Structure 1
């Protein structure tokens, strides 16, 4: 019996869109199988069908050679299929153990909920698979990477043999990604089989055995990863040649747009997350901030955009002190913000795209008159942004934001912020969760914005993105500025050392 899962000729439709159009995917026992495709290609939908979240209009599913009907996720669990979703399904104020047993609670003497034996079993599993999860910690107190391990543990606790990971590295630091790869290899050693949904080619090359590519809902092909180059995977995924390098001319910086002077900001734990930080960004340049996550980047961004108050120091925009201005006033003065968390800070998920595209502008003409909204103007404006940024959704500008794939939500936000034509664009993780084709496009647009004589402050955990896009790079460690280097005169090693806190003799 070669295949543990066979999905044959699956078709799944939603209003206005065929998400899966006759797709076939087979999973061998003990393999890591990558499912590759652009944002909105139908990857999550296909796995949603396997996990019982959607019922297909056509096609059959076999598990261990037997045809099955997976009507809901409980049936999937019983068949030994588990899934870690892109946005985790955890209860914040429950402990790790309470989250893991939710829905399959162990009973003692027929009545009492037996938390202790569950916690013990979780500890044993955790050691066995090298997950290092503390069964008694609360979800809200642990890192995103650790939360993901809790989701993996949930599957193992339910004795799943087929594990589906949906974009598992989108929210992890580089170090956590390496750890996750290790965990996946351990799981395979123990006889599990894994499907990983991703659009990161590097990771597919690192862990996957075979890779199935889908594009705009259609099956393109399945290849052996060892025999296939990153470039040809990219071409299968996007349908054209993709350039991995950013084309840009030398920058021509003009006068200073953003001046940060000895800024100190407290973090959520009420201690200084940013200490005495100074930096300037000029017209016509992209300044990148490089650092390991959690070293003061969020405090810096929130102080500049007005979401967090500064303890001391000053923020000047075009020479004017904006340190104590409201968020709206800062937007009006020319700051736009692509936030780190698109769902918390970027969109109102239950509004339409049309409403989301005018969040900063709805109170100004042509979008309102005498306090009444003008929907036709909103519609035209939104339509233009969605077309320009190739935002794919079932029903265009009237789609509810929540129904879009993560990458399309991201493109919508970037389109909205660039459309404001801001003097200063604060771009935080702008390409997080985007496929290579979209990344190439967004990079182009950021360079264009720079070339219009605007200032861009780029904060990204992808070191190669910072090196490729930036003109100057400021390195931050433990809330302090370690140094500023010219991107053209540095490399990954040097910046990596500085990120680890090793200072640099010269500064620019």
Structure 2
């Protein structure tokens, strides 16, 4: 499929999301689209997929001008999209997820099963059609999403941040699948902030900045530094800690923490962990191995079934989330839409969330809207959140700008401990550098940080100490100065270190 976007325009109240955007996608090629947060990439993809209508410009597919009233129109001509946040039903099998909504193509019986197996064999997808999606790891779930769009006949596949939660071995497996897809004549539009991966997999690169396309690059000759400068006008940041600030004063201590699900499955198993003042402890693990539950137990969102949690010499094992926050714990959640923002609230109201008893947003027993608005303005300025005003809803911001706002909010109020789950997921290199700087400065001032990230370079570069979690247990320890991303990835998947 040959696709041309010509002069695409899209405006929202107070925001020009796309202006004079040009993009050409060749058949049988991986085309990478890169740009800083708020550059307009997500809006452009929604236009191409029929989620939104452009205010100007044209979409030409195989020489014919097209207008999409909905994603159904895009799917009907062979455009499929895999979103960063997967849209799968955990209680259904792989086969049931694939055929759901597309029953008219091959029914729901043996013909559909045969078609699924045929696609899996053709593109190297190691998937059992009868496996329950709830039992699959993140890499397998991603293949199910790609399988869904292939089943519907997609010849152009849009992938939004497809490697965000994959370990290096899983990234290479995905890239092998993508090479098989383009070898068969399909096209892939690959959206990513990971410039080394873009250079490895892309055949063509288009760069966006502040709503428009600013240039193209040849991955055979371009460097990460050149791409970073095109994207944000800055050099590529590096996650380095600098001086040693670790003290011998424990700020967080977990002793024998266990957690059992309602069905009796062991989610956390005898976890011992200590974070000291001025220390960043990195937790490495393939998604679904207990890191989410670990953070939720510390935050009081779940109650540990065994063990004890101590924060600055106080037992907080059975405290509520509100009281844990009041003790000085900041929380950057892994899912910003579920636990980070209320999408339809303006930013100044989102500033209050989780902090409704803190001095910056209260006046005595009452909320202080003026204080919340003023502090939201400070966060917007300090963290370079791209928004018209504090009255803009969180929904109107790009994912990366939502993330920057959350990080700024959680770093406010001088916390003693920060639980940071994927703090730079979905942000560009400029915002990434700013977030790293804020965390480094807070560490220097004595903050203890528990860092969970799927970016192994970030974990290695930003941690004083590394722990690996596998099936709910801490199974390995590493010195960040003497471990590679490949070695860490091997330990995360249960291989020999």
After TM superposition, the score normalised by the length of structure 1 is 0.90
Which whole-Å CA distance do the structure 1 matches of 2:256 and 2:406 have between them? 31
Structure 2 residue 382 is the aligned partner of structure 1 residue 388: yes
Which whole-Å CA distance do the structure 2 matches of 1:152 and 1:490 have between them? 33
Q: Residue 300 of structure 1: CA displacement?
A: 2.3
Q: Residue 468 of structure 1: CA displacement?
A: 0.9
Structure 2 residue 125 is the aligned partner of structure 1 residue 127: no
For 2:2, what is the secondary structure of its paired residue? strand
For 1:75, what is the secondary structure of its paired residue? helix
Give the direction of change, closer, same or farther, for the CA distance of 1:234–1:334 in structure 2 (3 Å limit). same
Aligned mate of 2:465, from 462, 472, 476: 472
Q: Unpaired segments of 5 or more residues in structure 1? A: none
2:136 counterpart residue number? 142
Query: Could you list the per-position Cα deviations for residues 368-407 of structure 1 after superposition, in whole angstroms to 9, with x for gaps in the alignment?
Result: 55765432222112221122111223x4322222332222
1:216 counterpart residue number? 210
Aligned mate of 2:156, from 162, 168, 182: 162
Give the direction of change, closer, same or farther, for the CA distance of 1:311–1:107 in structure 2 (3 Å limit). closer
Q: Residue 311 of structure 1: CA displacement?
A: 2.4
Which whole-Å CA distance do the structure 2 matches of 1:277 and 1:140 have between them? 24
Give the direction of change, closer, same or farther, for the CA distance of 1:11–1:255 in structure 2 (3 Å limit). same
1:180 counterpart residue number? 174
Which whole-Å CA distance do the structure 1 matches of 2:299 and 2:144 have between them? 33
Contact 2:298 2:309 survives alignment (8 Å): yes
Aligned mate of 2:427, from 425, 434, 448: 434
Greater CA drift, 196-205 or 279-288: 279-288
Contact 1:212 1:223 survives alignment (8 Å): yes
Query: Could you list the per-position Cα deviations for residues 261-305 of structure 1 after superposition, in whole angstroms to 9, with x for gaps in the alignment?
Result: 232233575333333322222211212223343443233222211
Which whole-Å CA distance do the structure 2 matches of 1:288 and 1:145 have between them? 22
Q: Residue 226 of structure 1: CA displacement?
A: 0.8
Give the direction of change, closer, same or farther, for the CA distance of 1:136–1:498 in structure 2 (3 Å limit). closer
Give the direction of change, closer, same or farther, for the CA distance of 1:179–1:362 in structure 2 (3 Å limit). same
Which whole-Å CA distance do the structure 1 matches of 2:339 and 2:254 have between them? 23
Give the direction of change, closer, same or farther, for the CA distance of 1:271–1:159 in structure 2 (3 Å limit). closer
Q: Residue 211 of structure 1: CA displacement?
A: 0.1
Aligned mate of 1:421, from 409, 414, 417: 414
2:57 counterpart residue number? 59
Give the direction of change, closer, same or farther, for the CA distance of 1:270–1:438 in structure 2 (3 Å limit). farther
For 2:228, what is the secondary structure of its paired residue? helix
Aligned mate of 1:351, from 345, 361, 372: 345
Contact 1:246 1:440 survives alignment (8 Å): no
Greater CA drift, 372-381 or 405-414: 372-381
Which whole-Å CA distance do the structure 1 matches of 2:303 and 2:153 have between them? 48
Give the direction of change, closer, same or farther, for the CA distance of 1:267–1:232 in structure 2 (3 Å limit). farther
Aligned mate of 1:44, from 32, 36, 42: 42
Aligned mate of 1:412, from 405, 417, 421: 405
Alignment of 1:56-455 (within 5 A): 56-106=54-104, 114-246=108-240, 248-267=242-261, 270-364=264-358, 367-368=361-362, 373-393=367-387, 395-455=388-448
Contact 2:224 2:236 survives alignment (8 Å): no
Greater CA drift, 456-465 or 487-496: 487-496
Contact 1:173 1:293 survives alignment (8 Å): no
Give the direction of change, closer, same or farther, for the CA distance of 1:498–1:114 in structure 2 (3 Å limit). closer
Q: Residue 122 of structure 1: CA displacement?
A: 1.8
Which whole-Å CA distance do the structure 2 matches of 1:100 and 1:489 have between them? 43
Give the direction of change, closer, same or farther, for the CA distance of 1:137–1:205 in structure 2 (3 Å limit). same
Query: Could you list the per-position Cα deviations for residues 325-375 of structure 1 after superposition, in whole angstroms to 9, with x for gaps in the alignment?
Result: 111111111111112222222222332222221112224556455765432
Which whole-Å CA distance do the structure 2 matches of 1:95 and 1:502 have between them? 28
For 2:354, what is the secondary structure of its paired residue? coil
2:22 counterpart residue number? 24
Which whole-Å CA distance do the structure 2 matches of 1:452 and 1:419 have between them? 14
For 2:214, what is the secondary structure of its paired residue? strand
Which whole-Å CA distance do the structure 2 matches of 1:482 and 1:114 have between them? 42
Q: Residue 94 of structure 1: CA displacement?
A: 4.3
Contact 2:284 2:467 survives alignment (8 Å): yes
Give the direction of change, closer, same or farther, for the CA distance of 1:214–1:163 in structure 2 (3 Å limit). same
Aligned mate of 1:462, from 455, 467, 482: 455
Q: Residue 92 of structure 1: CA displacement?
A: 4.5
Greater CA drift, 99-108 or 169-178: 99-108
Which whole-Å CA distance do the structure 1 matches of 2:496 and 2:64 have between them? 61
Aligned-CA RMSD value? 2.5
Greater CA drift, 485-494 or 339-348: 485-494
